[in-house]
Structure 1
Amino acid sequence: MKRVVRILGEILLLAACAFYLFPVYMVFVNSFKNRQELYENMLALPGKFTKEYYVTAMEKMRFLKAFSNSLIVTIISIAIIVVLASMTAWMLVRTNDKLSKTLFMIFVATMLIPFQTIMMPLMQVMGWVRNNLHIPMLESLGGLIYMNVGFGASMAVFLYHGFIKSIPVSLEEAATIDGCNKFGVFSKIVFPMLKPTTVTVIILDVIWIWNDYLLPSLVLSGEKLRTIPLSTASFFGQFTIQWNLAMAGLMLTIIPVIIFYLCAQKYIIKGVAAGALK
């Protein structure tokens, strides 16, 4: 009886995996088809696998430029989020007074606010900053990075805050007695112990920032500043959609994330296990 239940469970798991991966299959096979093949049968394999549509999609997307823009925004945003959020969470945990608790609750509360409710006031404020203070918050990668840091800080502080509570204060006290200053205690003692949480934050933010379309579409309009999601949207016109090129563009968009996930998979497992033990 147990064997039958186990087999049924494995069958259900395989069915769930197939259902989950079905959209990826649809995008992949249709990225190699011409329009006729695509409209005849979207589920069938293409007559032949050719890189023609990928080359055309890369040229139309200006893929290398869009890729470099997305890479710059993602790496710099995540680096700033990790450094500032980990330091903020550490100070909030170690001070542990009413002000710290209030600030932490504010960070948590901001996670509940949908971006759609503040996107128009945000653009108005950033437009005012650009026009009156002459700080290029719009039409610049720097402005987009600044906003990403603001929106990503709350979740990162929340994750770091919970993990730092498990780090013994005695380790920091011993380092202080040995002559280590505050920055040295954090950089040499605390931050290396935050590796599981840091990896988790990086993975979540890579998926979010790399695939984000709404915020970049509000901040960036110039073709040279487009990120990959914005470049992919160029295939979806008002009156026509180039589905085969769009599918190729979508595959080019998700391939870097898949590669990153496969490389970081072992760290994800370690992070989950470490979090469970803590």
Structure 2
Amino acid sequence: MKSKKKLRISYILITIISCLIGVLFLSPFYIIIINAFKSKKQLFENTLSIPHSVTFDNFKEAFQRLDFISSLAHSLFITIVSVVLIVVFSSMAAWMLERTKSKLSGFIFTLFIASMIIPFQAVMLPLIRVMGKIHFLNVAGIIFMYVGFGSSLSIFLYHGFLKSIPKELDEAATIDGCNKFKTFWYIIFPLLKPMTITVAILNTVWIWNDYLLPSLVINKPNTLTIPLKTFFFFGEYTKQWNLALAGLILVIIPVIIFYFLAQKHIIKSITAGSIK
């Protein structure tokens, strides 16, 4: 009986703690949502209260200020192209490094792992200086840099996953007359789907939300991404919180849509990765 009481008490305590943690994590979303529908006056009167009168003017003005369609298109283009290139190049590189057992391949793989330790801020200024000299501070340049910075972690993840794929599949494909290119694309790459989804999600979230690198590379007003456009709500003397919060909700919507569309594949990738 005592053990049952202890279990019940521990269950109640865990439930209470879980609810408190849930409220703590959800509170920022509550603040963002309720204040996005308030006027500037209502927002400064009480930040935590429910709006007395709901207004959609913030969303209309934020939509125009963000130049939402244009900035969304730029963010989507940069994110999609960067992620596709990261997935293709990283999977190919990881496959060759894992299958080629030599000191050179081990050294190259170690270099990729070591590069993950170096923070971006340490190479930020020299990189921008070099890229500026070769006139590569544009959309193509930022995609090139995203591929470089995102490849190390992606190669590490693919390399670990490839160890669970038998090398005999490569040999069987070679016997059947496949060259290296066909062996990878028709045999190996389809088997990497769980890890490919994981790599794509990690890099999509990182690139979509990134502010620092685009702020250094993209200088033309007609090529700004959504994070850069959102920054314009915060001036030197004024901060338009009501418009900024409405803009944040508009920015979050594409991510939520992406999650719901990819939810089935995300769950599959997690379960497949755990089985592997």
Query: Taking structure 2 as the reference length, what is the TM-score of the superposition?
Result: 0.95
Residue correspondence of structure 1 range 9-28 to structure 2 within 5 A: 9-28=14-33
For residues 110 and 116 of structure 1, what CA distance do their matches in structure 2 show?
A: 13
For residues 264 and 96 of structure 1, what CA distance do their matches in structure 2 show?
A: 36
How far does the alpha carbon of each residue in 1:136-156 deviate from its partner, in whole angstroms, 9 at most, with x for none?
Answer: x11x21111111111101110
Partner of 1:254: 252
Q: Give the deviation of 1:259 after TM superposition.
A: 2.1
Within the candidate set 201, 204, 217, 1:203 is matched to 201
User: Is contact 1:203–1:261 with CA below 8 Å preserved after alignment?
Assistant: no
User: Is contact 1:159–1:197 with CA below 8 Å preserved after alignment?
Assistant: yes
Identity across matched positions, percent: 52
Residue correspondence of structure 1 range 145-156 to structure 2 within 5 A: 145-156=143-154
Q: Give the deviation of 1:177 after TM superposition.
A: 1.1
Partner of 2:84: 79
How far does the alpha carbon of each residue in 1:135-193 deviate from its partner, in whole angstroms, 9 at most, with x for none?
Answer: xx11x211111111111011100100000011011112112111111111111111011
Q: Give the deviation of 1:260 after TM superposition.
A: 1.5
For residues 129 and 263 of structure 1, what CA distance do their matches in structure 2 show?
A: 40
Closer/same/farther in 2, CA of residues 262 and 4 from structure 1, 3 Å limit: farther
Amino acid at match of 1:29: I
Residue 170 (1) aligns with residue 168 (2): yes
How far does the alpha carbon of each residue in 1:23-55 deviate from its partner, in whole angstroms, 9 at most, with x for none?
Answer: 111111111111111011101111233321111
User: Is contact 2:39–2:55 with CA below 8 Å preserved after alignment?
Assistant: no
Within the candidate set 90, 100, 117, 1:112 is matched to 117
Runs (4 or more) in structure 1 with deviation over 3 Å come to none
Within the candidate set 224, 239, 242, 1:241 is matched to 239
Q: Give the deviation of 1:233 after TM superposition.
A: 0.3
SS in 2 for 1:6: helix
Amino acid at match of 1:182: K
Amino acid at match of 1:47: H
SS in 1 for 2:165: coil
SS in 2 for 1:83: helix
User: Is contact 2:194–2:272 with CA below 8 Å preserved after alignment?
Assistant: yes
Amino acid at match of 2:134: V
Q: Give the deviation of 1:17 after TM superposition.
A: 1.8
Q: Which runs of 5+ in 1 are unaligned?
A: 131-136
Q: Give the deviation of 1:205 after TM superposition.
A: 0.8
Query: Taking structure 1 as the reference length, what is the TM-score of the superposition?
Result: 0.94
Amino acid at match of 2:123: I
Partner of 2:3: none
Amino acid at match of 1:208: W
Residue correspondence of structure 1 range 113-152 to structure 2 within 5 A: 113-130=118-135, 137-138=136-137, 140-152=138-150
For residues 141 and 49 of structure 1, what CA distance do their matches in structure 2 show?
A: 39
Q: Give the deviation of 1:22 after TM superposition.
A: 1.1
Q: Which runs of 5+ in 2 are unaligned?
A: 1-5
Q: Give the deviation of 1:276 after TM superposition.
A: 2.3
Partner of 1:54: 59
Partner of 2:186: 188
For residues 171 and 44 of structure 2, what CA distance do their matches in structure 1 show?
A: 68
SS in 1 for 2:134: helix
SS in 2 for 1:207: helix
For residues 59 and 239 of structure 1, what CA distance do their matches in structure 2 show?
A: 21
| RMSD of equivalent CA atoms | 1.2
